[in-house]
Amino acid sequence: MRFDVITLFPELFAPLLTSGITRRAYESGLVEVQFWNPRDHAQGHYRRVDDRPFGGGPGMVMLAEPLQACLSAIRASRGEVVAAQAPLVMFSPTGKVLNHAAVSDWSTSSGAILLCGRYEGIDQRFIDQYVDCHISLGDFVLSGGEIAAMALLDAVARLQPGVLNDEGSHQFDSFNPALDGLLDCPHYTRPEVWQGQAVPEALMSGHHAQIAQWRREQSLRLSKQLRPELIAQARSQGLLTPQDETFLKAEAVQSHKPTA
C-alpha cells in the first residue's frame, strides 16, 4: 500500500520511518510512504503557502493553489485512473475519531493521500472540492496534522504481516475483536516480586484455563472501570457470556460495599 503525505514539515516523520518495530513495514515496502511539500508547488520568489484570512482574525490560512498543484502532482505520480483514485484524507477536529475498526480497514486498503494542515486552517474551497475523508484523534487541537498522520501510519504498519515479532500479538490488543472490543488485561514479567508487589497467583499457576479466566476477568474489570461504554457495546452485540455477566455483577456488588 502507498501513502502520500502532504506536509510542510516532512522531516518530522524521519524517526517514525527509521525507529522501532514498525520500521520493518516501511523498509520492506509493505507500507510505502512518500512526502510532498506544498512549498515545492507554490508560485513566486518566496514560495508562499499561506495568507491572511478574509474577515480578519488571528493566524494565517493555507492557500488552495499550492495544495491543488501538489495534489495534481501526486495523482500523476500514482498514475491513477479517476475511478480508482486514492482518497484524500484530512486530519481535522471535524473528523470521525480514529479507532481500531478504522485502522483495520486502512491496513488492508491500497493506501491514501494524507493532508496535514497547519496554521489557522486550510482554504475551505480546497477542502470542499478535494477532501474525501476527515479523521480526528480526539477532542483537542494539535499544531498540525503531522502527529495524526504518524498515528495512522504507525497503527497501520504494525498490522502488516511480519512486522511484529509475534504474528498473533496484535490480535489481543485493546479494542480488538479477539477481546470482544474490550481493554487488554494487565501484564507482568520478572522479577516475581518487585517492591513488595507479587505477580498474581493465577499467572504463576501454569494452569492455562485459570490464566485465561484471570485475563478475561481483568479485561472486564478494567473496561467496566475505565471505559464502561465498551462493556455496553459488547453486551449489545451478545459478546458477553453468562460467566462474564456473573463476574460483572459480583464486581458491582463488591464496589458498593460500605468501607469500615
Instruction: Respond yes or no: is residue 58 known to be catalytic.
Output: no
CA dihedral 192, 194, 196, 198 (to 10 degrees): -30
Residue where the block lists cell 479477539: 178
Of the candidates 118, 158, 215, 216, the residue annotated as catalytic is: 158
Indicate which residue of 15, 93, 177, 228 is catalytic: 93
Amino acid at 95: G
Sequence-separated (6 or more) residues with CB below 8 Å from residue 95: 133, 134, 135, 136
Q: Catalytic: 78? A: no
> Hey, what's the cell of 235?
453486551
What is the rounded CA–CA span in Å between residue 98 and residue 23? 22
What ranges make up the beta strands (E) of 84-149?
Answer: 88-97, 111-115, 121-122, 133-136
132 is catalytic: no
* Catalytic one of 24, 78, 120, 221: 120
Active site (annotated) includes residue 158: yes
Helix (H/G/I), strand (E/B), else coil: 133: strand
Matching residue, cell 504494525: 158
Residue tagged active-site, from 65, 154, 173, 184: 173
- What amino acid positions are annotated as catalytic residues? 93, 120, 158, 173
